[in-house]
Chains A and B, each alone.
Chain A
Amino acid sequence: MKEFFLSLQDYFSYDFVWYALIVGVLVALCAALFGVILVLKRFSFIGDGLSHVAFGALAIAAVMNLTNQMLLVLPVTVLAAVLLLKTGQHTKLKGDAAIAVLSVGALALGYLVMDLFSASANVAGDVCGSLFGSFSILTLSRADLWVCVILSVLVIALFTLFYHRIFAVTFDEDFARAVGVRASVYNLFLAIITAVIIVLAMKLVGSLLISALIVFPALSAMRVCRSFKRVVICSAILATACSAFGILLSLVVSTPVGPTVVAVELATFLIFSLTGKLLRR
């Protein structure tokens, strides 16, 4: 235990550790806030599908040797989000099938493109890195940090500003529309922000594990909290704590960052489920 803290102290003297912590915590926080809405609207699978689309776009961006990969990945993911939400609304039955098609399609194409055209010697390593999170979270530049901080602050500000409307639309969309809230605008806004969060979170946990950041805090919080406000606050706290702890743990025991954070979230979820069961008896 003592050694654990000693080595932590060493780590805190490096800038890259601080960068990783700040970005990791902010991204997890955003994912958790909007995760509450996605889970309650039964849209969790959209997050999963989008993350695969983001992987496909990233593969293409890598092959094209783009200097700023975000410029391709972000628009493609946002577009996919908008399309998915539209199909989900109008044709209820085909919505989840569309997501399945899009997500496996993007996954397969992404790998194919990388395998065929990549100049890198270690294609399997690259692919594995973008699926499960590489160490890129530990090699963030100052510019990466700022982009991430600004986007996260924007996302959190939007959530707090529109908190009451978000609740109304999530709880009962028909009622909200009847009293004059433009729910379709909110759904569009939800799709775009989900896409932004997914692109941000790819650096942290990789595209296969992003859904974990989105659903676990909300699900854990819902095991023990009975009001919307409490669920939101609790999942924000959980996300912050789990990602900070997960990142530090991965540094100390030198495991991959993404899976470690997700494992911590999973453990929290199990603990909260158990607590919820005990409380309800």
Chain B
Amino acid sequence: MSQMICREVSLGYDGATVASHVSFTVEKGDYLCIVGENGSGKSTLMKTLLRLRQPLEGEIVLGDGIRQSDIGYLPQQSETQKDFPASVMEVVLSGCVGRSDFGFFAKRKNRITAHDNMARLGICSLASRSYSELSGGQQQRTLLARALCATEKILLLDEPVAGLDPHATEELYETIARLNRESGVTILMITHDLGAVMRYANRVLHMSATPTFYSSVEEYRTSMAFPLREGGVS
């Protein structure tokens, strides 16, 4: 059974439609990349999947025992968290906030979860550093660890490598791929990096004004929507 089914969904703000007829299904262990131009509604789609917004039309159905709280989220970089006084540990720990933290044992368990996820992403040494003073790559790892504290089932990543240098980009991609391969985390990732799509993803959702295009990576490579085909721009 599919973890998530999106049927004929229309997205938009205050009645103005941004994208329509978006349909796709997500199976356990999928690595789905969402590509498309700036403003084509990729971030809006993620917010809709997270129920931060309602779809204008269509429906999003969860299955395979997935509940809304099993979907973790790495937001597109925002300026709002700048100069916020928070340590890396506090940020990672805040991923556990959906769980109960009343009582001594729950608190302890949450701290252990946070530690484990920081170890997985190699940021244990940063635990007491100030989040706002980290580099972009370290901040993304911190937010990824936070998302993992919330869930191990589905992660929605909104341009996780934006602003990272090639080395840090590569490392982050490898980390995400490892989570997908070894821990079976389903990944939905927005990216502008077609190379990464070809390398890591098994499915692609191309958002555009012409009907959105959902396919496996192999089909996408040979399709009209693929911008690298016949000298298109990347």
Q: Mark A154-194, 1 if CB is under 8 A from B, else 0.
A: 00000000001101100110111111110000000000000
Give A238 Cβ to nearest chain B Cβ, in Å: 14
* Interchain nearest-CB distance for A61 vs B (Å): 39
Contact of B87 among A165, A172, A181, A227 (CB under 8 A): A227
Write out, one digit per residue, whether chain B residues 63-106 have a CB within 8 A of any chain A CB (1) or not (0).
00000110111010000110011110011011111100100000
| Residue among A177, A181, A226 with max Cβ neighbours from chain B (10 Å) | A226
B 37-54 contacts with A by CB, 8 A:
47, 50-52
- Cα-based distance from A184 to B96 in the complex (angstroms): 19
Rounded to whole angstroms, the CA-CA distance of A176 and B91 in the bound complex is 11
Closest B residue to A234 by CB, please name it. B85
| Contact of B52 with A174 in the complex, beta carbons under 8 Å | yes
The answer to whether A171 touches B91 (Cβ under 8 A) is yes
A179 to B75, CA, bound (A): 13
Closest B-chain residue to A227, C-beta based? B87
A171 adjacent to B94 (CB under 8 Å): yes
Q: Is the interface of A mostly helix, strand, loop or mixed?
A: helix
| Residue B130 CB within 8 A of the other chain | yes
Chain A residues near B71: list those with CB within 8 A: 178
Residues B75 and A174 in contact, CB atoms below 8 Å apart: yes
Residue B206 is within 8 A (CB to CB) of chain A in the complex: no
Bound-state CA distance A210–B82 (Å) is: 27
CA distance A148 to B97 in the complex (A): 31
User: Does B133 make an interface contact (CB < 8 A)?
Assistant: yes
A198 within 8 A of B: no
Residues of B within 8 A of A149 (CB): none
- CB of A179 within 8 A of CB of B81, answer no
Q: What chain B residues lie within 8 Å of A226 (beta carbons)?
A: 85, 87, 130, 133
CB-defined contacts of B90 to chain A, threshold 8 Å? 167, 171, 227-229
Is B176 part of the binding interface, using a Cβ–Cβ cutoff of 8 Å? no
Tell me how many residues of B have a C-beta within 8 Å of chain A: 31
CB of A62 within 8 Å of the partner chain: no
A188-B90 Cα distance, complex, nearest whole Å? 24
1/0 per residue A95-120: CB within 8 Å of B?
Answer: 00000000000000000000000000
Question: Complex: how many Å from CA A167 to CA B95?
Answer: 11
Would A179 and B69 count as touching, CB distance under 8 A? yes
Interface size grouping (class) on chain A: 20 to 34
Q: Which of B84-138 contact A (CB under 8 A)?
A: 84-87, 90-91, 93-98, 101, 128, 130, 133
**Cross-chain contact of A164 among B80, B84, B101 (Cβ < 8 A):** B101
**B150: interface (CB < 8 Å):** yes
Q: Does B203 contact A (CB under 8 A)?
A: no
In the complex, whether B141 has a CB less than 8 A from a CB of chain A is: no
Q: Taking the complex as formed, is B146 at the interface, i.e. its CB lies under 8 A from any CB of chain A? A: yes
Is the CB of A249 closer than 8 A to any CB of chain B?
no
B146 touches A175 (CB 8 A): yes
User: A222 to chain B: which residues have CB within 8 Å?
Assistant: 85
Q: Fill in one digit per residue for B132-170: 1 if any A CB lies within 8 Å of its CB, else 0.
A: 010000000000001000110000000000000000000
What's the Cα separation between A172 and B72 when bound, in Å? 13
Q: Which residues of A contact B72 (CB under 8 A)?
A: 178-179
> Which A residues, 5 to 52, have Cβ-Cβ distances below 8 Å to chain B?
40
Query: In the complex, which residues of chain B have a beta carbon less than 8 angstroms from the beta carbon of A179?
Result: 69, 72-73, 95, 97-98, 150-151
Q: Which residues of B contact A178 (CB under 8 A)?
A: 50-52, 71-73, 150
Query: How far in angstroms is the closest Cβ of chain A from B146?
Result: 7
> Does A231 count as interface, using CB distance less than 8 angstroms?
yes
Interchain nearest-CB distance for B106 vs A (Å): 10
Are A177 and B52 in touch, CB under 8 angstroms? yes
Q: Flag whether A241 is at the interface (Cβ < 8 A).
A: no
Cβ contacts under 8 Å, B47 to chain A: 174
Given contacts A164-B93, A227-B130, contact A180 B84 (CB under 8 A): no
Chain B residues closer than 8 Å to A227, beta-carbon distance: 85-87, 90, 128, 130
In the assembled complex, A94 has its CB within 8 A of some CB on chain B: no
Q: Are A180 and B69 in contact (CB under 8 A)?
A: yes
Contact assessment for B86 and A171 in the assembled complex, using a CB-CB cutoff below 8 Å: yes
Contact of A168 with B97 in the complex, beta carbons under 8 Å: yes
Closest to A163 in B: B101
Bound Cα distance from A171 to B91, whole angstroms: 8
| 5 A-B contact pairs sorted by A residue (CB < 8 Å) | A175-B75, A178-B50, A178-B71, A226-B130, A228-B84
The 4 nearest A-B residue pairs measured at CB: A226-B130, A179-B98, A227-B87, A168-B97
A167-B86, A171-B94, A230-B85 given. 5 additional CB < 8 A pairs?
Answer: A171-B86, A180-B69, A228-B87, A229-B90, A231-B85
